[in-house]
């Protein structure tokens, strides 16, 4: 579980995080989205205990984020994760497992199982000779060597090819079955498909948060696109002989039907439309 209460971080005159409050339960995936420089990474660093808050607090797995013991229960993945390039995947992960006092037998079993899950076949090649996707998979495996209760991932699939990205997204979905997961991402399609709840961050502030359905209802909800053969009040032409009216309810659809029939025309099509996360994000962020 993660609980953030009024988290605030100020660097000089710059407010990086302006009083963020949220709660993430075990088994839940919580996504942070926002423009570059919005404060997502700083928020994740505050949760990971890597940055001291100016005000507010965060608890992770029941411990204060500043408590060193908390880090034994945390798996953290930064956006940029340099690796020891002369080491192989196996030796690198064994090294980090030893830092968490994981015994060799348990570590080896956990490492092999995790690398199998990540579909990383190349395990004895120096990391400096591995592709970006392979290196990212190793960084994710590193975050799991201590079998953490909570995962905090910053852009886990940034810059990767679609196949590797989908593999990582599926692994995150599996990991959330018995863990708490918070991650940031620019790929809104994956956030929409993966997250139980999301928060949109703009200029350091969480401007909205909750399940996507609730956010969609708050910022637009369902609308109906009604196509008619003749123009009616509020319609716009989309092609010869077809005019479109966007309305908010089925009662409004019936009003359009009555209006077009009164004009000796007919209703051609009715389709509901739910705003995508991208549409909501652009509206909320003012882009």
- Model pLDDT, residue 187: 84
| pLDDT by residue, tens only, the chain of 287 residues | 999 999 999 999 999 999 999 999 999 999 999 998 899 999 999 999 999 999 999 999 999 999 999 999 999 999 988 899 999 999 999 999 999 999 999 999 999 999 999 999 889 999 999 999 999 999 999 999 999 999 999 999 887 888 888 888 899 999 998 899 999 988 888 888 899 999 999 999 999 999 988 888 887 678 899 999 999 999 999 999 999 999 988 999 999 999 999 999 999 999 988 888 888 888 887 65
Q: What is the pTM of this model?
A: 0.83
Residue 158: strand, helix, or coil: coil
- The residue extents of the domains of the chain are 2-210, 218-285
pLDDT score, position 251: 93
CATH of domain 218-285: 3.10.20
Q: What is the pLDDT of residue 217?
A: 80
36 burial (CB, 10 Å; 0-12 / 13-18 / 19+) is: exposed
Is the separation of the CB atoms in 126 and 87 below 8 Å?
yes
pLDDT of residue 85: 93
Does domain 2-210 fall under CATH 3.30.530.20? My reply is: no
Residue 245 CA to residue 234 CA, distance in Å, equals 6
Decide: helix, strand or coil at residue 221: coil
What per-residue confidence (pLDDT) applies to 193? 84
Q: Provide CB contacts within 8 A for 21, sequence distance 6+.
A: 4, 5, 6, 7, 56, 206
CB atoms within 10 A of CB 7: 25
Predicted pLDDT at 287: 55
For residues 13 and 36, give the distance between their C-alpha atoms in angstroms, rounded to a whole number.
18
């Amino acid at each position: 579980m993660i609980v953030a209460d009024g988290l605030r971080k100020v660097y000089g005159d710059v407010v990086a995080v302006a009083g963020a409050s949220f709660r993430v339960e075990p088994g839940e995936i919580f996504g942070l989205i926002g423009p570059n420089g919005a404060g997502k990474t700083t928020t994740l660093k505050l949760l990971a205990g890597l940055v001291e808050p100016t005000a507010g607090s965060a608890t992770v797995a029941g411990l204060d984020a500043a408590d060193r013991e908390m880090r034994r229960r945390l798996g953290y993945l930064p956006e940029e994760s340099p690796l020891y390039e002369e080491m192989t995947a196996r030796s690198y992960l064994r090294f980090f497992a030893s830092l968490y006092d994981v015994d060799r037998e348990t570590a080896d079993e956990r490492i092999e199982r995790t690398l199998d899950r990540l579909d990383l076949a190349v395990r004895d090649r120096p990391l400096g000779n591995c592709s970006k996707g392979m290196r990212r998979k190793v960084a994710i495996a590193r975050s799991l060597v201590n079998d953490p209760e909570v995962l905090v991932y910053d852009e886990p699939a940034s810059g990767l090819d679609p196949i590797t990205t989908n593999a990582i997204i599926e692994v995150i979905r599996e990991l959330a079955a018995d863990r708490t997961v918070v991650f940031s991402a620019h790929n809104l399609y994956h956030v929409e498909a993966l997250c139980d709840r999301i928060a949109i961050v703009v200029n350091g502030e969480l401007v909205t948060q909750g399940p996507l359905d609730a956010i969609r209802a708050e910022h637009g909800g369902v609308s109906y696109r009604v196509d008619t053969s003749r123009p009616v009040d509020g319609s716009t032409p989309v092609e010869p002989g077809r005019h479109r009216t966007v309305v908010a309810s089925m009662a409004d659809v019936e009003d359009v039907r009555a209006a077009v029939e009164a004009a000796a025309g007919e209703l051609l099509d009715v389709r509901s439309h739910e705003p995508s996360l991208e549409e909501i994000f652009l509206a909320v962020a003012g882009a």
